[in-house]
Amino acid sequence: MAKSKVRVRFAPSPTGLMHLGNMRTALINYLFAKQKNGTFVLRIEDTDPERNFDPGAKIIIADLGWLDIQYDEGPQVGGPYEPYFQSERAKIYQEKLDVLVKEKKVYRCFCSQEELTNKRQRQIALKMPPRYDKSCLKLTDQEVQQKLDANMPFIWRMKLNPDEKITIKDLSHGNLTFDLKNFSDFPLTRQNGTFTFMFSNFVDDMVMQISHVLRGEDHLTNTAGQAALYKAFDSQLPIFWHMPILCNLEGKKLSKRDFGFSLKDLHQAGYLPEAICNYLAILGRSFEQEIMTLDELAKALDFDNPHAKGQIKYDTEKLNWINHKWIDRYDPQKLAQLCRPYLEQEYPEVKKIEKEKLAKIIQILKTDLVKLSDIIQTLNFYFKEPTIVKSEIENLLEKEKLLEIGKIIEKNIKTIDNPEQFVANLKNESKQKNIKLKEMFTILRVALIGKSRGPGIRELIEILGTHETKKRIETLINVVK
């Protein structure tokens, strides 16, 4: 059956938390399907029950939902190729294995793990490529039966033709040809009767009519064997794209030690899902307009000329910049809603602030937010009045000027109930006394928020309220006298 419709899949293993590499693979598959008007399939590779960290793939599905990466077929959604959990597909794998057995394209291997390790070590010592020596392929039917009668455990191995070459099409590498004499007869089953990743992955891709396999470059070594399996079933090969591996700035593969390796890290730190997707999609590429929604990304990405490098570097600075831009785009109410849990954890009294007021405050302060958790430090001044230390203020301005500023502020404090008038008066008098506005407002900010830089004075009065503002300014006046 010819594959005319684009069908791609994301096939994570629920053995750990979703990390940047997983997310990027899921995202690129999703955007590819979206651009090509194809189908995006979620398939869970849960054949290792001992390491199953996420039963039912609930966390994976929730993470994809948070990122707004919507799959067309898969768990909870269904589809024509159910079930979408590999642990429930053993019957399908057995049927396909039976075909290979009947056509004598596989053979039983009785070698123990110890024997295989010894052979491998011997080959390495002799500077030979470590490869299975096909010893069990040479067994006679009688020898095989004797071993079966003795209940010797075995696995099924694929019988590769060493005289054959197989060519695949890869979107970034072009046509890649594999000489099968350089590859081992790989296992299709384990001794306990379960099926290997190599075989189950291939069967699912073939049965589910996957047209394009977009995955990390680290899977390139599996591709020759899977291509041989397609040929064994006389089935059309998918088109591949082995994407560059995500590395840290030192060029090493991302690991748990790198911040942001897991989606949970990024979520907790206050990175927005739109920013994460935006960053991962444009990583390693160049765009004139870099801030894009999923719809815009699906249109903008050029899958005909994809990135061909073996690795691309994950840079938190760029992620921070994109996240900051997305914070600026957010609806004020939604932004306040997302910031509130961070504030409530640090300042329980924030629960008393009305939604509208908090949204207004955060709108004023959002230019200081790189990630949502920054709101804790940015809004600290609202809950904790800064301590004004005379010696520290005197480091900013000489005493005479401080005295003059203090007098101007004291004279006009009575107009604080009209912030516009208050600021206008300060501007006029500063000009008359030859005091720079920057100097005047720097000292006022130190009094109000404990920092020399920040929002405008009118905005700060709006945030703090005139009563609290007056109290803090009067403290300043008393200190500089």
Contact 381, 347 (CB under 8 A): no
Q: What is the pLDDT of residue 402?
A: 92
Q: Are 185 and 160 in contact (CB under 8 A)?
A: yes
Cis peptide before 83 (omega within 30 of 0): yes
* H-run or E-run covering 232: helix 220-232
Q: Per-residue confidence of the chain (481 residues) as pLDDT tens digits? A: 345 699 999 999 988 888 898 999 999 999 999 999 999 999 999 887 777 778 889 999 999 999 999 999 999 999 999 999 999 999 999 999 999 999 999 999 999 989 888 888 988 888 888 889 999 999 999 999 999 999 999 999 999 999 999 999 999 889 999 999 999 999 999 988 899 999 999 999 999 999 999 999 888 888 999 999 999 999 999 999 999 888 888 778 877 778 777 899 999 999 999 999 999 999 988 899 999 999 999 999 999 877 656 678 888 999 999 999 999 999 999 999 999 999 999 999 999 999 999 999 999 999 999 999 999 999 999 999 999 888 888 888 888 899 999 999 999 999 999 999 999 999 999 999 999 999 999 999 999 999 989 999 999 999 999 999 999 999 999 998 8
* Cα distance between residue 203 and residue 41, in whole Å: 15
Q: At the top level of CATH, which class does the domain 89-243 belong to?
A: alpha beta
> Tell me, what's the pLDDT at 307?
64
Residue 1 is predicted with a pLDDT of: 39
Domain ranges of the chain: 89-243, 264-381, 385-480
**Residue 73: phi, psi to the nearest 5?**
-135, 145
385-480 has CATH 1.10.10.350 classification: yes
Task: Give the number of other CB atoms < 10 A from CB of residue 471.
Answer: 12
Q: Would you say 97 and 188 are in contact if contact means Cβ atoms under 8 Å apart?
A: yes
Burial of residue 285 (CB within 10 Å: 0-12, 13-18, 19+) is: middle
Q: Out of 1.10.1160.10, 1.10.10.10, 3.40.50.720, 2.40.30.70, select the CATH number for domain 264-381.
A: 1.10.1160.10
Q: At what angle do helices 466-480 and 399-412 cross, to 10 degrees?
A: 140
